[in-house]
Amino acid sequence: MLTLQSTQGNHLRTRKPSLEQLKLMKNMSSRAELFKQNISFKAIHLIQLNLPQRNTFKSGIGIRKSREALVIVWEDQNGTKGYGECSCRPDPYYSDEFTEGAMALVNKFIIPFLKKNQTFGDLFHLLNKIRGWNFTKAAVEAAALQVIEKNTGISPFSMMANKPLTEVPVGISLGLYSDLDEMKKVVQDALYTGYRRLKFKISPEVRTDFFDSINPLLFEADTYVSFDANGSFGENDLETLGYFVNTYNSMIEQPFAPSRFDVLLKGKQKYPSLFICFDEEIKSIGDLIKLHQLGVLDEVNLKVGRVGGIINSLEIINYCEKHNIPCWIGGMFETGIGRMLNLRMASYLPEARAHDLSPSDRYFVEDIIQPGVQMHEGRVDIKSLGNCKIDTALVEKYTIDKHIITI
């Protein structure tokens, strides 16, 4: 079991700019270069998919048996296509976005403002004028950026000073279990498969006695263990939360509801060693800076969609690096389209222990990219992703609704 050191109290200490960061500052012009790129527009395709999952997944948010995904395709005047995945849920229970709402937003507040030709800067401005709807904006941005990269070779990742990793360590997120034998088997399988981290969903109703019985397995293994409460603990649930704080000396993701700062302070006061990773609560760099400067943030689960896209994510990664904040990439059960982007983003986080980015076959009977994302000994080889192509026949097979909107 690894011990984490709290960054509390250190939050105002920053590193001197390293050579890498100086290089980064020099590279800032490439952001301007990207923003100047022209992107032409012919059509947006809104494709709703329903991908059967291998297993039912239960968390504090709800139960999932299949992944209802929204793929947004940007088609330019030459027929070049870029793909983005809107990874919000079909219901507004993780964030306030939901699939049908996302489609309405694109139809009403994005497409009518697109021109035959614009710069990426124009598009970025148009998207960021819209408040909220981060998953939706991120999908449009990702699709457009893919078109630009296909046409010019210029990508936002070229703004990064660090060289990307060639391999990315990944973990597994395990749901809530009501059957101990099932839970034990899943844990044994996950340890055997070689995941670099096991993340358990927890809630105030969680059976801590189940954890008592699997702890020998967990403590014996050399795998990091963490927990994700999806904001489910209130001030009357601190005793249950204490079980996880005191038993594991590990990280707890989003223990309290976003914005319940009062409960957060009570929790931190009661358990000084409570090490908090924020998920739902960080939707922008401003949220991150606020929690950091208030001294309550220990770690960040960065979801590209949740913060409104790639450009915003890279800004967050740079802030975390500068302030020594551990940061890793989270997931929303993305299909191969979103998963490949997440993995690419993860390759720019050399310090991350593991990301919530398991291989395709952990989630789906069949992914829409072929081959699917593969993992070896808990790592995904970034180069191998170059072979993963969107399989249009499979996209069709799992499509439940499709709209093509042109101007």
Contact residues for ligand OSB, defined by CB under 6 A: 94, 173, 228, 230, 279, 330-333, 356, 358
Which partner, ligand OSB, Mg ion, none, binds residue 94 by CB below 5 to 8 Å per kind? ligand OSB
Which partner, ligand OSB, Mg ion, none, binds residue 233 by CB below 5 to 8 Å per kind? none
Closer residue to ligand OSB, CB minimum distance, 148 or 352: 352
What is the binding site for Mg ion (CB under 5 A)?
Answer: 228, 253, 279
Residue pair 272/53 in contact (Cβ under 8 Å)? The answer is: no
Rounded to whole angstroms, the Cα distance separating 224 from 249 reads 11
Which partner, ligand OSB, Mg ion, none, binds residue 223 by CB below 5 to 8 Å per kind? none
The number of angstroms, rounded, from the C-alpha of 30 to the middle of its chain's C-alpha atoms is 25
Closer residue to ligand OSB, CB minimum distance, 83 or 227: 227
Closest separation in Å from C-beta 371 to ligand OSB = 19
Closest separation in Å from C-beta 342 to ligand OSB = 9
Closest separation in Å from C-beta 179 to Mg ion = 23
Closest separation in Å from C-beta 359 to ligand OSB = 10
Rounded to whole angstroms, the Cα distance separating 337 from 369 reads 7
Side chain identity, residue 9: G
Which partner, Mg ion, ligand OSB, none, binds residue 99 by CB below 5 to 8 Å per kind? none
Closer residue to ligand OSB, CB minimum distance, 44 or 332: 332
Closest separation in Å from C-beta 71 to Mg ion = 23
Which partner, ligand OSB, Mg ion, none, binds residue 332 by CB below 5 to 8 Å per kind? ligand OSB
